[in-house]
Amino acid sequence: MGVYFNPKNESYTRARNSQIFLDKTGLIAYLNKRLSTEENCIALSHARRFGKSHAAGMIDAYYSLGCDSSLLFDDTEISESADYRKYMNQYNVIHLDISSFWDSYKDNIVEKITEYICDEIREVYEDKIDYSKMMNSVLGSVYRISKIPFVIIIDEWDCVIRNSEDKDLVHRYLQFLHSLFKSEESKAFLALAYITGILPIKKIKDESALNNFREYTMIDSYPITEYFGFTEKEVRDLCEKYDMDFETTKAWYNGYLIDGMNMYNPNSVSLAMDRHKFDSYWKNTSSFASINTFITMNYEGLKDDIMTMLSGGMVMVDPESFQNDLSEIHSKDDALTALIHLGYLGYDAEMLSAYIPNYEVAKAFQMALKTGSWKEIAKSVSICDELLVATISGKEERVAELIELAHETYTSVLTYNDENSLSCVLTMAYFTARGYYNIIRELPSGKGYADFAFIPRANAGKRPAMVIELKYNKSADTAIKQIKEKRYQGALSGYSDKVLLVGINYDAEGKDKKKHTCVIEEWKI
């Protein structure tokens, strides 16, 4: 038994031995119901590090004749299924990671895949099979000899489609897939196909290699959503086990609303638990170049939508026009839909809207904007960290200057003539504060509603709680007076040893050319 033909269960064994392991074997029960049916072809497209390869290793271990996996599954959810033993380790399995072939054999990838699989089959069946024929004929011969059908698993199946501009190569690759999944011969030996990719299946003219697949995406993966990513309950249990604050974990890694379920990035959550530290871990596994590529495209309304999402808002998106091809972006909707599939935006199917899902992804946007072509916005985003430090340090003049810069940056995006618009500017100006604070607009407190309440998270260290009150054409002192009179700070007394009272005023006339003023006072509990 080998690497590609009837692999062993080393991959899933490593997963089971890992410090953080969550039981996702319920997916197998779903797949078992589709064995040797017309619904036996499954295509999963999810963002990187969302558990696709983990599931592929689990499927290997369960179906492959090359191993005995009872010790791996006997205490899992699938073991409670009536058909648990019936299908376990009963199938010939082919497992391919197309990206590993692509790295070495770009020009003759189909031939090399065929060669590697045939070499391993030859070790078992020797000269009983004609290896000069097409791959589907080889597998058909194996099936006729063994009477055992195949489960075919292809990880990163779309690697060739995403990376090659050679139309002839793409055509040959798709024909190869057609022979495995749609030829008359494959209908006899194929029990199950499970393929994974970054993007949904591209609809290529005159190509029908994969039109028989049931697709599950970052927009719609019902009913198997819970098996790719961590659910909220799973994350809550992990936080309790590893003594990590759940609300902070939620702010950093939650936000993917798929089929009504809140799904978390499993890679980032696992690293946060293991290192006992909240950080942007996903940036080490994904290319930020793709963010800049799409958000800086010159489509009408795109910049406005990006700024709306950076300020915590949602924007409507029509994902239907996207051709599932990163080289064919023809509209604002295409650009935003691409970012949804890549995991850089969340999608609310009920609201038909996209949004930035969590603080980790927001940090990715911040980094992309700093190095991107929107220079004026990059300049403003780059001062977010300084603004927070200046506010905590009580540097009133500097806070006013930095907010003035934010105003100048975002004035073309927002209608800047009232306190609500000033609130949007402040939301973007304190962009990086979200990693340390739960920022609430219009918090009920005392005798009214505080414009902004900055409630420290568990990882905030010695950073104080803050109340920010905004005024328009009045004075920063008036804002401070209102905070005290209406006792807004009282709602934060349980979160910190001290609360900063911050008053900010925007003067449309701009006395002495300074349109913003700031007053900061410390209120000790």
* Rounded CA separation 67/399 (Å): 64
In angstroms, how far is the first alpha carbon of the chain from the final one?
Answer: 69
Closest by CA position to 400, among listed 241, 516, 263: 516
Q: What is the chain's percent helix, strand, coil content, to nearest 5?
A: 45, 20, 35
Closest by CA position to 51, among listed 192, 226, 220: 226
Class of residue 162 by CB neighbours under 10 A (exposed 0-12, middle 13-18, buried 19+): middle
> How long a stretch of residues is the chain?
525
CA torsion sign for 244, 247, 248, 251 is positive
Q: Which two tokens stand for residue 308?
A: 């709306």
Contact residues for 424 (Cβ-Cβ < 8 A; gap 6+)? 311, 410, 414
* Rounded CA separation 410/377 (Å): 8
Q: Residue 13 is inside which H or E element, if any?
A: helix 10-17
**Residue 465 · residue 492 · CB < 8 Å:** yes
How far apart, in Å, are the Cα atoms of 48 and each of 52, 53, 286? 8, 9, 7
> pLDDT tens string for the chain (525 positions)?
689 999 999 999 999 999 999 999 999 999 999 999 999 999 999 988 888 989 999 999 999 999 999 999 999 999 999 999 999 999 999 999 999 999 899 989 999 999 999 999 999 999 999 999 999 999 999 999 999 999 999 999 999 988 888 989 988 999 999 999 998 899 999 999 999 999 898 766 666 668 899 999 999 999 999 999 999 999 999 999 999 999 999 999 998 999 999 999 999 999 999 999 999 887 655 555 678 788 878 788 888 888 888 878 899 999 998 988 888 899 999 999 999 999 999 999 999 999 999 999 988 888 887 777 777 777 777 788 899 999 999 999 999 999 888 877 776 555 444 555 677 778 878 888 988 999 988 877 666 778 899 999 988 888 999 999 988 889 999 999 998 888 877 777 777 778 999 999 988 776 556 788 999 999 876
- 3-class secondary structure per residue, 286-353: CCCHHHHHHHCCCCCCHHHHHHHHHCCCCEECCHHHCCCCCCCCCCHHHHHHHHHHCCCCEEECCCCE
Residue with the two structure tokens 């219009």: 442
- DSSP string of 119-165? HHHHHHHGGGS-TTS-HHHHHHHHHHHH---EEEEEETTTHHHHH--
Contact residues for 156 (Cβ-Cβ < 8 A; gap 6+)? 97, 98, 99, 196, 197, 198
DSSP 88: T
Task: Name the amino acid, one letter, at 53.
Answer: S
How far apart, in Å, are the Cα atoms of 198 and each of 181, 326, 339? 20, 11, 11
**Residue 522 · residue 503 · CB < 8 Å:** no
Q: What is the pLDDT of residue 512?
A: 58
* Rounded CA separation 89/65 (Å): 5
**Residue 185 · residue 137 · CB < 8 Å:** yes
DSSP H stretches of helix in 382-506: 384-392, 396-410, 419-429, 476-485
**What is the phi-psi region of residue 126: left when phi exceeds 0, alpha when psi lies from -120 to 50, beta otherwise?**
left
Q: What is the pLDDT of residue 510?
A: 62
Contact residues for 151 (Cβ-Cβ < 8 A; gap 6+)? 59, 63, 64, 91, 92, 93, 94, 191, 192, 193, 194
C-alpha 93, offset from chain centre? 29
* Rounded CA separation 103/159 (Å): 10
* Rounded CA separation 210/229 (Å): 25
User: Going by DSSP bridges, is the β-strand pair 346-348/465-472 parallel, antiparallel, or unpaired?
Assistant: unpaired
* Rounded CA separation 377/300 (Å): 17
Residue 170 phi, psi dihedral angles, 5° rounding: -60, -40
